[in-house]
Amino acid sequence: MAIIAILVAILLLIILVGWFKTNPFLGFLAAAIVAACLSGISPEKIPSVLEAGIGSMLGSLAIILCVGAMFGKLISETGAAQQISRTLIAGFGQKNITWALMITGFIVGIPLYYNVGFVLLVPLVFSVMHQSKLPAVYLGIPLLAGLSTTHGFLPPHPSPVALIPQFGASIGATLFYGLIIAIPTVIVAGPLLASRLKHIHANPIKTFCAQPLPDESLPSPFNSFFCALLPVILIAVASLLPVIAPGIANNTWVLFFSNPSIVLLLGLMVATYSLGIARGLRIEKIMQYFTDGLKDISIIVLIIAGAGALKQVFVTSGVSDELGSLLKQIPLNPLVLAWLIATVIRIALGSATVAGLTAAGIVAPLVISSGANPNLMVLAVGAGSLMCSHVNDSGFWMYKEYFNLSLKDTFKSWSLMETVIGVMGIIGVLILDAFI
């Protein structure tokens, strides 16, 4: 009955979200209710099960998601992200411009949500295109590869952060392993792949070629880099403390200030002053940025909440335990299985976030039953969730319309890039698994 409940729930999600374009949150709720009925949960208990799942999922993530949205919005609106881009491009020169754009997307993508980073940075690609006379796709793929790679592999980005509690993983260890995998991945899917795509010519719509902020309105390079990377630096230091200073690693204040929620709050406080108040921005304007940032991620919060409801149904009914005992009999590496399930759901539903969260709810029992490394499971699911982006993915259409490409050229560039990231990701996970 476990397999039937899961298959029906996933099929219902595909039909509602993929075919009928239902809001993913409503799709998750419908799938969770149907799965609960098929799993034998008493009807009067179903609402409380859904509420418990939503509460447990958002309880650990609400601060990270909301504060992260405010942080990313501030980085973009104050020109810090643009300054990072300009500084890197000036330092690398036109000959290595694709490497500069790759690093720009990679660094800016860490604090920014993907759609925000896309809208902010793609107009800069078009500006570079006009100045250098190089093809837009050749310039854009490395930057977008940087944004996608951070979306799949690197906390405190919300996608991997949402998977970490489901597998009982460590945010610090996941960040460390994620960096090891992400660096070669973004090189292959970025500059190296872009060099094969010079023949694809785009004619970006002028509406999307926004003018960057004037130089005098930008924060300094140091201020921009420091504020954008501060949360990552603090999390990295916290994860290294047990190694470099084991005597203080378990100090109550160290544990407090190394918590991801507190880290992001600290980062937001520093950025609010350094990028905002200290540069003459009124507090009312900054608060408006924060409000707009929260609006940008409302759907992500709801999707995560819905995934929590479906997961709780599996846990309460015992479906997760039954599935775990069934899956461990399959002669397939659990990391590969997790990647494959996420890939299938990604192809069916389009959304990387939905694919990752749904796959995590299904394969989470494998961490216990198979002894798989939970941090690598997060990365395997993240890699699968990026595979084979096509016409049911909003990112596919954003890229197509901004670059004004045909469907064929969009498949040959965007879809190929996302698939390369997913394949490189699982290869990196398996290599790490052989040594850990």
Residue 328 has pLDDT above 60, yes or no: no
Query: 109-113, 131-135, 338-342, 411-415: which has the minimum mean pLDDT?
Result: 109-113
- CB under 8 Å to 172, separation ≥6 — which residues? 235, 236, 238, 239, 240
- CB under 8 Å to 389, separation ≥6 — which residues? 346, 350, 352, 395, 396, 414, 415, 418, 419
The mean pLDDT value for 286-312 works out to 85
Query: 31-45, 92-106, 252-266, 410-424: which has the minimum mean pLDDT?
Result: 252-266
Q: How far does CA 74 lie from the centroid of its chain?
A: 18
**Most confident of the following: 120-134, 210-224, 270-284, 285-299:** 270-284
**Cα separation values, 212 from 75, 80, 122, 247, Å:** 14, 12, 11, 48
The mean pLDDT value for 152-156 works out to 85
Asked if 411 contacts 390 with a C-beta cutoff of 8 angstroms, the reply is: yes
**Cα–Cα distance, 14 to 435 (Å, whole number):** 37
Asked if 139 contacts 338 with a C-beta cutoff of 8 angstroms, the reply is: no
The chain-wide mean pLDDT, for the chain, equals 86
Q: Which residues of 9-45 are buried (b: 16+ CB within 10 A; e: fewer)?
A: bbebbbebbbeeebebbebbbbbbbbbbbbbebeeee
**Most confident of the following: 18-27, 57-66, 214-223:** 214-223
Instruction: Tell me what pLDDT residue 2 has.
Output: 64
Better-predicted residue by pLDDT, 201 or 219: 219
Instruction: Tell me what pLDDT residue 205 has.
Output: 65
pLDDT grade, residue 41 (50/70/90)?
A: very high
Better-predicted residue by pLDDT, 142 or 355: 142
pLDDT grade, residue 258 (50/70/90)?
A: confident
**Cα–Cα distance, 61 to 165 (Å, whole number):** 9
Three-class SS of 20-70: CCCCHHHHHHHHHHHHHHHCCCCHHHHHHHHHHHHHHHHHCCHHHHHHHHH
The mean pLDDT value for 249-266 works out to 83
The DSSP line for 359-400 is HHHHHTHHHHHH---HHHHHHHHHHHTTTT--TT-HHHHHHH
Instruction: Report yes or no on whether pTM surpasses 0.75.
Output: no
Instruction: Tell me what pLDDT residue 211 has.
Output: 64
Q: What is the CA radius of gyration of the chain?
A: 21
pLDDT grade, residue 23 (50/70/90)?
A: confident
Cβ-based burial of 82 (10 A; exposed 0-12, middle 13-18, buried ≥19): buried
Backbone angles phi, psi at 278, to 5 degrees: -65, -20
CA angle 25/402/198 to nearest 5° reads: 125
- Percent of the chain exceeding pLDDT 70 equals 92
pLDDT grade, residue 288 (50/70/90)?
A: very high
Asked if 231 contacts 112 with a C-beta cutoff of 8 angstroms, the reply is: no
pLDDT grade, residue 325 (50/70/90)?
A: low
Q: How many residues does the chain have?
A: 436
The DSSP line for 162-209 is HHHHHHT--HHHHHHHHHHHHHHHHHIIIIIHHTT-TT------GGG-
Instruction: Tell me what pLDDT residue 321 has.
Output: 62
- Span 67-82, pLDDT tens digits: 888 888 888 888 888 8
Quick one: which H or E segment has residue 237? Answer: helix 221-244
The DSSP line for 81-133 is HHHHHHHHHHHH-GGGHHHHHHHHHHHHHTTS-HHHHHHHHHHHHHHHHHHH-
Residue 236 has pLDDT above 90, yes or no: no
Instruction: Tell me what pLDDT residue 323 has.
Output: 59
Q: Give residue 166's identity as a one-letter amino acid code.
A: Q
- Span 168-210, pLDDT tens digits: 999 889 999 999 999 999 999 999 999 999 999 888 866 555 5
Instruction: Tell me what pLDDT residue 308 has.
Output: 85
Better-predicted residue by pLDDT, 419 or 90: 419
Asked if 281 contacts 273 with a C-beta cutoff of 8 angstroms, the reply is: no
Asked if 167 contacts 372 with a C-beta cutoff of 8 angstroms, the reply is: no
The mean pLDDT value for 313-336 works out to 73
The mean pLDDT value for 407-428 works out to 95
- Percent of the chain exceeding pLDDT 90 equals 37
The mean pLDDT value for 15-25 works out to 84
The closest of 186, 261, 262, 264 to 232, measured between CA atoms, is: 264
**Cα–Cα distance, 357 to 10 (Å, whole number):** 12
The mean pLDDT value for 126-145 works out to 88
Residue 143 has pLDDT above 90, yes or no: yes
Instruction: Tell me what pLDDT residue 1 has.
Output: 62
The mean pLDDT value for 222-241 works out to 83
**Cα–Cα distance, 32 to 36 (Å, whole number):** 6
